[in-house]
Amino acid sequence: GAVVSQHPSWVICKSGTSVKIECRSLDFQATTMFWYRQFPKQSLMLMATSNEGSKATYEQGVEKDKFLINHASLTLSTLTVTSAHPEDSSFYICSATRQRNSYEQYFGPGTRLTVT
């Protein structure tokens, strides 16, 4: 159990367009979901934390108007990269927890975004 999926697994978009990435908990209800960004050979950088039904909490330096996060249900969170630029190209990973404030996170396989 505790499977998290992401869709799409990879996406290529043109500069200036928006792209949406979905994160789903398939067999459990996720009270909290996290969105990370990972650069090559670097650590996972937490972008934001979202709890179902409330606004996401963004980390310092992350533009909330550019990276829109919606956690509309207990099994789905979406990350929308608006007006994408080449520097937004990265690997985006989501995770989910069963219990609020739990460290036990279940990770999705990630989404590779390339902006041309």
Contact residues toward other proteins (CB under 8 A) are 4, 32, 34, 41-44, 46, 49, 57, 93, 95, 97, 100-110
Whether 77 and 33 have beta carbons less than 8 Å apart is answered as yes
As measured in angstroms, the least distance from the Cβ of 99 to other proteins is 8
CB of 6 to other proteins, least distance (A): 8
- Residue 58 Cβ vs other proteins, minimum distance, rounded to whole Å: 10
Residue type, 29: Q
Complex with other proteins: residue 81 or 108, whichever CB lies closer? 108
Return the number of the residue (16 or 109) whose C-beta is nearest other proteins.
109
Tell me if 26 sits within 8 A of 5, measured CB to CB.
yes
Residue 4 exposed, middle or buried by CB count within 10 Å (0-12, 13-18, 19+): buried
User: Would you state the structure tokens that stand for residue 28, as one six-digit string?
Assistant: 């459990």
Q: 2 and 98 in contact (C-beta within 8 Å)?
A: yes
Nearer to other proteins, 86 or 103 (CB): 103
CA distance 46 to 54: 18
Nearer to other proteins, 82 or 91 (CB): 91
Q: How far is the CB of 14 from other proteins (least distance, A)?
A: 27
